[in-house]
Structure 1
Amino acid sequence: MTSKGAKWQTRRKMLTPSFHFKILEDFVITFNEQSNIFVEILREEFKDRQAKNICRYITRCALDIVGETAMDIKFDSQTKEDTPYVKAINKACEIVQFKAIRPWHWIYFISRLTPVGIQFDAALKTIHNFTDQVIKNRKLESDRSKNNETNTGVDEIYWNGKRKLAFLDLLLEAQKNPENNLSDLDLREEVDTFLFEGHDTISANLGWTAFLLASYPECQVRVFFFINH
């Protein structure tokens, strides 16, 4: 996320094909399914028509979408109790915000000795362990499918009838090329970044969008009209 120079350019060029329109089109079903769940939850939660913080609902929806489309994992965070991974993501985000306004926590060797630092390291360990397992499982699945697959680029987005994962599968293919110099740690770094940025930034964006639409009803009416026509 914060890389620059040659590393940023190489990774950006390598990952761009995962956003090919044909691949994204294949994910529209997931977008719609999770969005419908989101709408039903809001309809139920806001029956009393009282003001509430909508951000946590948006975050859960975005996480379910990114998890399923990028890693083929159903978090079901909108409808079920949080998994250890989802709890770790939430805890890490909470602590990052806490540390952002406390400069003494910017120094790692000091922060790691505090209760907050210990909690953060524990959450990070859970996140990394989960990502490592996801990558390992996908590698095994890729190897099993290798003999029956003909790779024709972005247009070939299925393994024997099962959808490929544009992002993770692209990383695994790239790792096989020695010129890319991608270690398992690099893969974990990219997956963690994509999952976090993929749901956190979208959640913040949609949260502010909802706030602005609520603040300007006339614009809300125009948006509603545009969507339905």
Structure 2
Amino acid sequence: MSLLAFLDYAGVAVFAATGALSASRKQLDLVGFLFLAAATGIGGGTVRDLVLGNIPVFWVVNPTYILVCAAIGAVVFFTSHLVESRYRLLIWLDAVGLSAYCVMGAAKGMAATGSPTVAIVMGAMTATFGGVLRDLLASEPSVLLRPEIYVTAAIIGASVFTAASASGLPLPLASALGVIAAFAVRGGALFFGWTLPSYKPRPGRHPNDVM
């Protein structure tokens, strides 16, 4: 198995686990676990392939990805009660998935277009859309609305990988640097509460106030 294939499976598996953990927090049945695991695991990669025009998308070409999501969903269904803080585990697993998937998405974007800009955008999109979709379906507070750095971590990881690849570094080293950079930023944001400056001059008005 190639390094990029490993990162692809790892990203899918870890994001599937976060989807299943969200299902456990909502006390869904087994089908709900499988659905959220699959939607989260393949969501970001599906959007990436659709944007890049890679039709049929990756999990249609290789249904093993669906089986991985199903297996992870089933395992979490029978074991999630053993975890003391499922939300804490969810956000840290999400950080791991984001780190792997931003590099995978950037690599696919670069291979498809040859554009570093597109590669970075694809890396960020691949790494974040699954988590956004998971939170939307599970009615959880969106990771995008958490104060800690999130999308920026994916952009940094994808940028580091893209720059390292362009400079001629071997793929394993470039991938490792991208994964480490993304996880260091996201993990630091979770552990230390790192944030970017927010907009504060004045809040938006309620829609009824502008009618």
Q: Which gives a bigger RCO, structure 1 or 2 (Cα 8 Å, sep 6+)?
A: 1
Q: Which has the larger radius of gyration?
A: 1
* Fold shared per TM-score above 0.5: no
TM-score by length of 2: 0.30
TM-score, normalised relative to structure 1 = 0.28
